Amino acid sequence: MQDHERQRCEVWTRVMGYHRPVSEFNAGKQGEHAERCHFTEPAAALALNG
């Protein structure tokens, strides 16, 4: 895809039971979000169950 064909994508995340755009987080929460470790459920289950 060429750069001129791209558009910004708004990232939402679940916070305390509801969804909210990361762009509306304060600087501290945006930093916490950037440091989060994301995983998929099947891979996590495999790691736990061997």
Q: Is residue 16 part of a domain?
A: yes
Q: Is the pTM of this model over 0.85?
A: no
Number of structural domains (the chain) is 1
What pLDDT shows up at residue 40? 82
Domain of residue 26 covers 8-49
pLDDT band for position 9 (cuts 50, 70, 90)? very high
1 within domain boundaries: no
3 found inside a domain: no
pLDDT digits 0-9 by tens, 21-46: 999 999 999 999 999 887 788 887 88
CA distance 44 to 24: 29
Helix (H, G, I), strand (E, B) or coil at 27: helix
Q: Does the residue 15 lie in any domain?
A: yes
Category of 38 on φ-ψ map: left (φ > 0), alpha (ψ -120 to 50) or beta: beta
Domain membership flag for residue 14? yes
